[in-house]
């Protein structure tokens, strides 16, 4: 596999090395565990079987032609209409080869994804973020707790079916002298809607409008 370094000074954004043989190399390396290979906007991504994730990641890390030895990030994507609604996306980087690779697996809210903490210890925090925001389980993570939301938070806020208002609201209570949690209340008592277009104006006279017609204020 022959890597081509990007031409310096030609791009105003970070550009990774390209390779004409990268696709074939990945297919041969991952083998039957490869579900799909996607090349979009000059970036390469692979979808692999969920059960084979640790083995695939180990191959990508240890392969002498790739050396994808840095796990940059783990994130999630929610597609509620799919049976396996969640994509769990791993961003790998090879500093030596100036190469990036996106690895994706799919799952649902009950089936755990194998943890990568045995390969990259930093995956522990990334997996906690994904669990906190999406509710994706990770089998083998020794400390799968919330990390971004509060201790009493209900649900997973990055899911598409999570209500925009949330489930609870908090305020400081003078009575209890502490922050208290309460069900969400959307007060409408002091709102008045006339549903008029701001471009068309109103039919009623506002204070001061009589001046435009030559009238006296207060007349």
Q: What is the pLDDT of residues 153-194, one digit of tens each?
A: 889 999 999 988 888 888 899 999 998 888 887 766 555 666
pLDDT at 208: 75
> How far lies 116's CA from each of 30, 127, 130, 141, 215, in Å?
17, 9, 13, 8, 78
Strand order in the sheet with 34-40: 34-40, 43-48, 99-107, 86-94, 70-78
All structural domains of the chain with their residue ranges:
3-158
Q: How far apart are CA 200 and CA 193, in angstroms?
A: 16
CATH number for region 3-158: 3.30.460.80
Q: What is the pLDDT of residues 109-153, one digit of tens each?
A: 999 999 999 999 999 999 999 999 999 999 999 999 999 998 778
Helix (H, G, I), strand (E, B) or coil at 31: helix
pLDDT at 131: 96
Question: Model confidence at 217, in pLDDT bands (50, 70, 90)?
Answer: low
Structure token pair of residue 12: 């105003």
């Amino acid at each position: 596999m022959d890597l081509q370094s990007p031409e310096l000074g030609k791009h105003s954004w970070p550009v990774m090395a390209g390779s004409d043989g990268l696709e074939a190399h990945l297919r041969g390396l991952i083998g039957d565990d490869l579900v799909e290979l996607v090349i979009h906007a000059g970036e390469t991504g692979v979808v692999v079987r969920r059960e084979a994730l640790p083995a695939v990641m180990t191959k990508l890390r240890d392969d002498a032609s790739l050396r994808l030895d840095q796990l940059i990030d783990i994130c999630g994507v929610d597609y509620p209409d799919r049976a396996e609604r969640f994509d769990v996306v791993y961003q790998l980087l090879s500093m030596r080869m100036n190469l990036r690779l996106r690895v994706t697996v799919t799952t649902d809210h009950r089936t755990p994804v194998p943890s990568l903490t045995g390969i990259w210890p930093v995956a522990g925090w990334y997996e906690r973020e994904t669990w906190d925001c999406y509710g994706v389980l990770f089998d083998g993570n020794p400390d799968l707790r919330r990390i971004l939301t509060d201790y009493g938070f209900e649900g997973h806020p990055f899911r598409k079916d999570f209500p925009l208002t949330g489930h609870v609201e908090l305020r400081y209570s003078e009575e209890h002298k502490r922050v208290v949690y309460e069900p969400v209340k959307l007060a409408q008592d002091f709102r008045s809607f006339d549903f008029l277009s701001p471009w068309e104006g109103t039919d009623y006279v506002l204070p001061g409008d009589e001046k435009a017609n030559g009238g006296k204020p207060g007349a």
